[in-house]
Structure 1
Amino acid sequence: MSGAAVPGLGRATPEDVGLSTVALERVDAAVQKRIDGKVIAGALTLVARHGKIVRTSSMGVDDRRTGKRLATDTIVRIFSMTKPVTGIAMGILADRGLWSPNDPIAQHLPELADLKVCTGFDRQGRPTLETAAHPPTVAELLTHTAGFVYGSKRTDRIGRLYARHRLLRSRSTDEFLDRLRRLPLAYQPGTQWRYSLAMDIQGALIERLTGQSLPDFFQQHIFQPLGMVDTAFHTPPHKLSRRARLYYTGGPFHLLKGPNVFSKDFTRQPDFALGGMGLVSTLDDYTRFAQLLLNRGQYAGQRIVSADSVTAQMTNHLPQSLLTQGFRAGHMHIRPGFGFGWNGAVVHDPQQAGLPVGRGTYLWDGAAGTWFWADPEHDLLYIGLIQLLSYTAPPLQALTQRLMADAILD
């Protein structure tokens, strides 16, 4: 379908903003090929440039059994695309002078003082510990270099130790911090990049600094000013008919419907919301958020967050020594040219990274296959929404980035 206007953004034809209609059709065709091959059920995508939406596409279906179509107001689980939103919230609080990058995390969350570092495990399976060379800082929390990990039975022993404490199943922020303080760091702060619950810790930090719940802070300071009317940590009952089906890969070319195994699909605001996952959103809503990044903190004439904070979020903060160690998280591969800003990846040298996007492109994705990038050099954004939980999900971000490069005419 053609581009539809979103309040705060205009509408244009692709050629009006230096894009090729024919090339954009090839991008859609590549996504449609995955639908035809029964790899995904359906997809919503959107392209905007120079503040103008030029293409919104609904391909495939929401529900393969009923044939129900996806719409721009279909509510999807964005999982880790919550993280960049938390980054903006942290930027708002930085603008207020409530934290600085070099602050020890424990300055604001005293439960996390005197954390030790795990150096291995003894014969009884107990972690052997050493003192941290320095207390992990907020800057390291923002860049997945503080020493924390995600708990998973599929990873190493420290990951399994975190998993046993079921941190993300806590019933409150206080309970989350009480469980976390009992665990060691996985490595010396600043010496590795490891995908982690750092953004969930940021959520706790935001609550402590503001005295508000994370959902209330997001609603008051981000969602309401941006007009993100369907983005929240829950889907109220009257909107459930618009919530997308969630699929799993059940073998080659076989999609199965199933429950949300990562977090509960709440119908009311949760008592404990996570800064790293849990938001639901829509194509229209997340477009507003991505445009806020390109606008360096402004949207529809409102200043949401300072340009300095957005610039910090969209700037690589990893040193070369970490860029060369081959760290990965799903489809994300930290490497020379492809670093990490605040709560999202940054392509600071496209040639080194081997990616056909503009310098300074900020991007991330979600566990259900959602993806987006905001490219300030080309003043372009792209959003893709699917609902597929799979360890073999297709690399749609990389695929669409390659094809989008051919669509840029100037």
Structure 2
Amino acid sequence: MTNLHDTLHQHVSSGSVPGAVGLVARGDRIEVQPVGFVDVDGTSPMARDSIFRIASVTKPMVAAAVMMLIEDGRIAPDDPVGQWLPELASPNVVRAPFAPIDDVVPATRPITVSDLLSSKAGYGFPSDFSLPALAPLISELKQGPPQPQLVPAPDEWMATLSRIPLLHQPGEAWLYNIASDIQGVLIARVTGRPLPDFLAERLFEPLGMVDTAFAVPADKLDRFTSYYRTGPKVGLELVDAPDGQWSKPPAFPSGAGGLVSTADDCRAFYGMLLAEGTAAGRQLLSPGSVRLMTTNHLTPSQREESGLFLEGMGWGYGGSVDVEPTEPWNVPGRYGWVGGTGTAAYITPSTGTLTVLLSQVEMAGPSFPAVMRDFWRYAAGV
């Protein structure tokens, strides 16, 4: 079987990624392999503690924080979110998904906490990006590839969101991304604290996630990787340098994709989920909450309507859940998600396996890049 170094290095050698860090944990055995460089110029070698923009790998962490508030008794799954997010107390819905943005009807019921957790609140991206109601999500709310310094502060962001109709009635359909951003605002409103502070106290500090935050401080920028996309011509074009958009705290800390992290920090969080909420002798989440996060909450028709987003997968809270094996690594119950910046983290409870892959090239769409597929194939032993 090819080793982890060779599995990743072939993609560095081909030029598809400047570097990557792969981590595979099976019980007490942890294999970590950094390969390549932090940028295309080869400024310094990739290291185990290199810091990456993890994008949507943020989502499960924010969902876990919402579950903590539920366990604290501060909120309940069936609570309408309008009591904390009055901007969403009486939303309108486009009459049909393809209807003009001003052809609306009232929502038939309130948006609930569980709607946000399961990404069925009515806001977000379907498989068809041409629908009229999606345009303001991209242009005004900056949904899409993370760009933290361009997004307005939470109150302004929510005021703008309140003027945009839902694409579907609450609870009707799974839609991607925006529900996790709303979860982040909900946490801040319920606790009266900024989202970064709550996550640091309840998740990152107890788990020893010392490099996970919404910005990289100056004394860590030497470990921060550059971020690229595949350009229209041959080669990679720079999207963000270490001293760019993540070098200072954003006005809007995105619960959908704003965090930076390392392979070991991601292992700490996902290891807690794999251990049914326990880490370092502390119960951070109850086993029941972890099961809710890692259980599919979508109907077969909702999964089918998601298109390429969830091929062979369902959705738990904050991440996907494998339902129908379509590849050797798609083991039923496998939970986690990918980040559009080239990152991925998953647990497979049935085998006790945890995988983290961090790279720095933007995904071109919902299809997984070759480096991810080869990494998962290696981790699955096929």
Give the TM-score of the pair, scaled to structure 2: 0.90
- Whether 1:250 and 2:231 are equivalent positions in the alignment is yes
Q: Tell me which of 314, 318, 323 is aligned to 1:343.
A: 318
Q: How does 1:11-410 map to 2 (within 5 A)?
A: 23=1, 25=3, 27-53=4-30, 55-119=31-95, 126-149=101-124, 155-166=130-141, 169-251=150-232, 253-259=234-240, 265-329=245-309, 333-335=310-312, 338-350=313-325, 353-391=326-364, 394-406=369-381
Tell me the CA shift for residue 119 of structure 1: 2.3
Is contact 1:62–1:245 with CA below 8 Å preserved after alignment?
yes
1:231-279 deviation line (CA, Å, top 9, x unaligned): 100111111111101122114651222327xxx6233433321111111
Distance 2:50 2:225 in 1: 6
- Cα 1:252–1:126 change in 2 (3 A) is closer
- Cα 1:24–1:208 change in 2 (3 A) is farther
Q: Name the SS for the 1:221 alignment partner.
A: helix
- Cα 1:252–1:39 change in 2 (3 A) is farther
Distance 2:347 2:380 in 1: 13
- Name the aligned partner's letter for residue 255 of structure 1: L
1:297-355 deviation line (CA, Å, top 9, x unaligned): 111112212211111101111112212335333xxx244xx2000010001443xx444
Q: Name the SS for the 1:43 alignment partner.
A: strand
Distance 1:344 1:87 in 2: 9
Distance 1:379 1:387 in 2: 27
Q: Name the SS for the 1:372 alignment partner.
A: strand
Distance 1:271 1:256 in 2: 26
Distance 2:287 2:98 in 1: 49
Tell me the CA shift for residue 185 of structure 1: 0.2
Tell me the CA shift for residue 291 of structure 1: 0.6
Is contact 1:35–1:41 with CA below 8 Å preserved after alignment?
yes
Distance 1:391 1:62 in 2: 20
Q: Structure 1 regions of 5+ residues with no counterpart? A: 1-22
Distance 1:118 1:193 in 2: 16
State which drifts further: 250-259 or 307-316: 250-259
Q: Name the SS for the 1:247 alignment partner.
A: strand
- Name the aligned partner's letter for residue 130 of structure 1: V
Tell me the CA shift for residue 164 of structure 1: 3.4
Number of aligned residue pairs? 372
Tell me the CA shift for residue 395 of structure 1: 4.1
Structure of higher CA gyration radius: 1
- Cα 1:348–1:48 change in 2 (3 A) is same
Give the TM-score of the pair, scaled to structure 1: 0.84
Distance 1:367 1:45 in 2: 17
1:2-39 deviation line (CA, Å, top 9, x unaligned): xxxxxxxxxxxxxxxxxxxxx361x5433322221111
State which drifts further: 201-210 or 249-258: 249-258
- Identical positions, percent: 33
Q: What is the root-mean-square deviation in Å for CA atoms of aligned residues?
A: 2.5
Tell me the CA shift for residue 170 of structure 1: 4.3
Distance 1:173 1:274 in 2: 9
Would you identify which runs of 4 or more consecutive aligned residues in structure 1 move more than 6 Å? none
- Cα 1:379–1:104 change in 2 (3 A) is same
Distance 1:241 1:400 in 2: 26
Distance 1:314 1:48 in 2: 18
Q: Structure 2 regions of 5+ residues with no counterpart? A: 144-149
- Cα 1:220–1:267 change in 2 (3 A) is same
Is contact 1:194–1:327 with CA below 8 Å preserved after alignment?
no
